[in-house]
Structure formats: structure tokens, C-alpha cells
Amino acid sequence: MRGSFKVQIMIQLRLIFLIGLLMAFTVSKQGETIKIGLLIPDKEALAAKHGAELAIRKANRKGGYSGLPFQLVVRSTEGPWGTGSKESVSLVFDDEVVAIMGSLDGRNAHLAEQVATKTRLIFLSSWATDMTLSKAFVPWYFRCLPNDKQQAISLIQEIYIKRKIKNVAIIGTDNYDSRNAVNTFIKVTKSMNVTPPEQFLYKVSGRNFQEIFTEIEKNGIEAILLFGKPAFASEIIPLFQQYNTKQPVFGSLSILDDQKASSPDWSILEDIIMISSGQWFTEKGIAFQKEFQKVYGYQPGPVAAYAFDGINVIIEVIKNTGPDRDKIIDAFSKIDYKAGITGEIQFDKNGNRICKVGLMIINDGNPLVID
């Protein structure tokens, strides 16, 4: 009996030792990298992934955080409605990321924000401009690009105030982001005491453009403003040329929603005046373009640029506070990141980026800043 008892004790001690080793290994394994989550629309939407990866590469070349490398964990929200929530939860509990960035449309960004709300984790939006995201007043929601209201103010100042244009038409599409951007623009025109624009809904088939063109001519429209994605812009802009419209054309940042891994086709947007993300006009921006082109083989657009800056802001906060989630939340609202290629990054009390929104025009296939 004694021998049997000793054997059992030895077995238990060995099990305890093995469990201890396993636990030590697990802790070591979890502590080997500092994980940052990235949500993208689908597996082919590589622009944000590449921008984020480039920021991670540069940070790790500089030693990461106290010798620990940063790791990007990428998940896609494609699939049935609600996938964004599922993937956000997985990033929090399975991957144990310290923060999440989303290069998403407004609807999917709302799902990620809801998860962040319940789990007390930073969610940084690097593409959604929907105003209602910041109106939820979640203390750990932030946005590193200009929202719909900020874009509207910049466009109104250029169109109505600087150019003295009064009769404006908006052409938009019936998707969530476009509708919200148009509604915000209308509200801002009223608050700034300028004449709200005429609104036209462009159907995907394009068959109603003749009706839109007729109304534009009949009502003496002096300028046209576009809200929609690149596919919409590439379809409707040639129709302006076909119908020989003379009005100046303006576009929101959504026109440059280049989520795919390809160089921006600036020639399609010739003479269009658009919101600028700023990365083409500075030495830092040019250096970013060259390095990005060298690594990934194509020119970065705004999606990649905002993702690059967004991850760099998260990394900067972690370097200042460590990877503790609560400390990251406290430090995020106080960040003043001056090294951004899209400009200096600070946040207001609702998590919106504090910024002056610039404009650019495409001339001879190149973006040029408008003073």
C-alpha cells in the first residue's frame, strides 16, 4: 500500500510540475508579442492591412515595446450580418489584443464599437466617417480621419464661401454611408445659413442619369457634389464628359475608398476637387509612398495612409503607457501625435479627430493641394 501511495504522490507531483510548465509556457507565449487587432471588410481588402503592416514593421525595427515585438491580428467582417461583432469578440477574447482598429464602413464599425463598449477596449476607426459613431459617447471610441461634418464644412467653405456658388446639386447613392454623409451635409448647410443643395439619387444601372442631367440643366445648377464609392465615381464621371457638363465637380473622401491592393487611378478623377488626406504633399508622405511601393508594389491611397497613421497612434500610446488596456484608454484621449502622414492627430471629447480638412484637385493625373 505504501509503495502504491508513493507512486500516486509521485504521479501527482509530476502532473503539478507539468501543469506548472504548461502554464509558464502559456504565459510566456502570450507575452511574446503585443497584439493589435485589425478589422477589414473582406479578405481582398488589403490596402488597410498593408498600411497597418508597414507601421508594425517600422515599430519592430525600432525594438517594439521594451524588446517585445508588435503583432497585427487581421480579421475580416465579410459574411452574414453580424460577422463584425463575432470577429471583434474573437479579437478580444481569443487573440487577446490590446486595441482594435477598423477600416470599415459605418454599419460594420457600429458593430465593432458595440463590442468595444462592452469589453472596455479601444476601438479606433480609420475609415468610417458616420457621425453617429461618435454620438454614442463611448469613452474608448476614436476616429483618425475627418468625419462627415468636418468634410461638409470644408466643402461648403470652398463651394459657397470662397467660390460664391449658391446653386449646388448633390448626386449620391443609396448605401448607408452615402445617405448619412448627404444628410449631414444638408444639416451643415442649414447651420451655416447657406442654401441647401438639390439632391439626386444615382441608380447603379446609370439609366437615370439623363433625368438627372436634364434637372441639372433646367435648374441652373452651378456645381455638383458626389457622395459614393470609387465604382460610383468611375461610372458617373465619364457621363459628365459625355453630356458635356461644365459645372465644377467636388467629391467626399468616400470617392477614394480604395480598399483593394491597387494604385489609385487618378486619371478617372481628372479636374475633380476632393477632400485630401494629406499624405501626398509632405516629405513624410513622399517617403511613406516610396517605402509602401517598394514593399507592396503599388501606390498607397487614403485607406492605406489612415491605417498606417492609426496603427502608429496605437503604438505610440502603448510605448508611453505599456500594454495595459485601462492605461491605453486613459492615454488615448490625451495623445498629440505629430508624426502622422495625414497630419497631426489629436482627439476631442467624443473621439473625433481634431483637424483642419484640406482639399486637392487632380491635375494631369496627379493630386495637387488647394490652398
Domains by residue range for the chain, with CATH:
30-146+282-356 (3.40.50.2300), 149-277+359-370 (3.40.50.2300)
Unique residue bearing C-alpha cell 464644412: 153
Cα 287 to Cα 155, 247, 256, 293, 294: the distances in Å are: 28, 36, 21, 10, 11
pLDDT in tens, 121-162: 999 999 999 999 998 888 899 999 999 999 999 999 999 999
pLDDT in tens, 248-277: 999 999 998 888 889 988 888 999 999 998
pLDDT in tens, 68-98: 999 999 999 999 988 999 999 999 999 999 9
Cα 324 to Cα 98, 120, 303, 336: the distances in Å are: 7, 12, 28, 19
